[in-house]
Structure 1
Amino acid sequence: MCPAPAPWRPRWLVMLRAPVDRRSMRELAYVVTGLPLAVIAFCYAFGGLLLGTTLLITFVGLPVLAAGLAGCRALGHLERGRARALLGLAVGEPDPVRTLRRSSGLMSWIWALLRSGATWRHLFYALLHLPWSFFSCGVGLLAWCAGWSMIAYPLWEWLSPDSVGTPPIRIGRDGLTSASTPQQSSTVLEGGFALAFVSALGVLIVLLTPWLIRGLVQVDKLLVSGLLGPSWLATRVSQLETDRGVVVDTAAADLRRIERNLHDGAQARLVSLAMELGLAKEKLLDDPEPDPQAVAALIDGAHGEVKLALQELRDLARGIHPAILTDRGLGPALSALAARCTVPVSVTVELEERPVAAIEGIAYFTVSELLQNISKHSAARRGSIDIWRSEQRLLIQVTDDGKGGAQVEEGSGLAGLADRLRAVDGLLAVYSPVGGPTTVTGELPWR
């Protein structure tokens, strides 16, 4: 089920709440806690790497280096958990070392660790994260502390008796200095004006600090997802395995549908035809004086069954792959499809050339299923189909002015359609607010 959309808030309210909302506090906690953990990880990784490479001339070097790499993987697990808890960043686990082991034993475990690309990425993260943590923690804490200190400056002025004789503030080319420092082309703020200026500047810094920290955290997200997660190749293999399962399930469902339609449709018609022809044959052969009217009625009924069976076979063949799509392409095929829809539908196809047959077929059946949804569920008065090419992608957009409320829920027709498009590196986007209109956009690779 799709998550409920976040309530809309004015931008000024978002800006005012940013310094104290939970997301900003979690991001600040992530930046602050990252520095001590980065120091520990760097010391461990650098020490293990240095000690292991130094001892490589002996047999002890490899186990020490492997133990250091295993510790880096454990620290990476901790970092992924911290990112998940404080940033809401869900990063998958990398491939386990056991998948690379060829046998049991210590040496197999050591060679598996040394051959694992994920293990070396964890080591690189431990070495790279320390300088970045110094920078992000220093900048974030400095801005946060400076802003709140400047806001509290009037209170400090009031509570501290030693600050009664504090000199005024001078604003010049060198920034904020004491008024006792001589400068040219400067402005002096005294008394309440100085306090108000410092407080207003502090408020501005406090309001901007959450967005500064949010920008710093984006770099941490890139580091965690890029170095501590599964490799792109492993992710791609997993995605292809999932897509292959979707394709196999879809093909099996199509075969079951064809079998069911043949059994309940054309096959039943042909059985009835055989029975009626058998009755006609009996009347002609067994009856010494056959009634021509009765035989003609039986033959006429058989003729009707033949026509119905042929029509059902044509419909079934059209459902498998329509001849008009093969012969004339998407434009005429979709126009014929729209003509059979219960809702008036306009068709616009802007393609200078035809895509490959497989993509063309997927596009056709995608539009066919969306038109069925319009006929059955939308209560629309009109609809439209637009097909065009954008670089190496084929874009499909089906719109209706119905009641809306369509969602890509688990087990729904739209969810199955999205899985089919995803199996060929496509995607499906649904915009359907309650009350309409509904716009479904599909994107497919051109080849």
Structure 2
Amino acid sequence: MNERLDVGFIPAECPGAAGTGAVRTSTLLIERLSKHHDLTVYVSSQMDASSATLPAEDRVNYVIHDNLPKLPHPLTNKIDTLEGEIDALERHELIHSYSSAFMPVLAELETPTLSTLNSYLPVCPKGDMMYHGERKCSEPGRLKCASCISSTALKRRQGVDSELRSGYVSLGQIEFVFESIDRAWDIDAYHALSPHLAQDFGAIGFPDSRIEVIPHFYDETFATITDEENDGSALESDDPITLLYVGALQDIKGVHVLVRSLSRILSRGYDVELHIAGSGPYEQQLHELAHELDLENAIQWLGYVDHDELPTVYENADAFVYPGLLDEPFGRVLLEALSSRTPILAADVGSTDYIVGPAGEQFMTGEPKALADAFERLVESYTTYYDAIPAHIEQFAPETVEQQFSDRYHAVASMAD
């Protein structure tokens, strides 16, 4: 490793709290990078930091602004609060924001800046780049975005309160999108989680030459399987083949496609059980679909599973299914599956080919038949996929990604010279 740098790190929400994959990744990054750099972590969040277990407290300084109001707009309040720390931010050798939400703040700094592109928020007020929730959007437009937000809310029908809140937040982020695009060249460097994310931002006008892909690294707490414990011959037993889904129960996650595919798989004579870990606004519709297809006995609804209990859930699965309908920035659950030595069935969205590689099968997104066909291919050559995981996952090893970040830090910090 190179010499230590004085880094101002801006996480996604409050590290150490329960939350999204971005929160978990921020937590893991702070733990890793604080071994090699002096970090001051600037938290600007609506969450209550007192409920979080802050990582690496003995090596990290924290500046915490928590319990921020959500009105008039949650994002505006977070940005305004962080702007109050500009003088402090200027005193560091490098500022790294692991949230795309703070680009307007970074654009004001003279200090070298690195912004992580871990969501589509800077170019899409809904954060998903899905036009009317049906197809990938090419670029934003004020009237276009407003129409898309309204139309998507009507189509999803995931509860009036939920859609009203989501619509209000998204409409309030339209101007943020255009400010981010206008200020894109005022950020010194970018970190994209995956190849497709780098390409998408470049196509909308972000400086391609400043974007470097550094993936997530796997969480070592999921590496529970050894060759001695499981040799990849699990499908040879008389037990049902266990498929696993982990994630939010939302329409965009494609779980309904998985449920419909399960019906096809069973009709082909396979003994299969599906475990669904997660909760969300689409849960009732999924239960109704399972009842309609007479699948109640073939599905175990695990509900929300605490992060500490997830490794056991993966360990009990023969294959993990990622049926997403949109290009998510990365998909940390894919690494959770790989690190727990679980082959994958993944929709051909985003950069799933880059993450899954030879450790699984892809299928055309939104197509139950294609998923069922991919399942058959996986079963036929299961040991091949299982055995491919250890070598493939090395590119996502914590030490590998940690070194990439440190190299990137020094390259960006040197821009001040």
* Larger helix proportion of the pair: 1
> TM-score with structure 1 length normalisation?
0.19
> TM-score with structure 2 length normalisation?
0.21
* Larger strand proportion of the pair: 2
Q: Which has the higher contact order (CA 8 A, sep 6+)?
A: 2
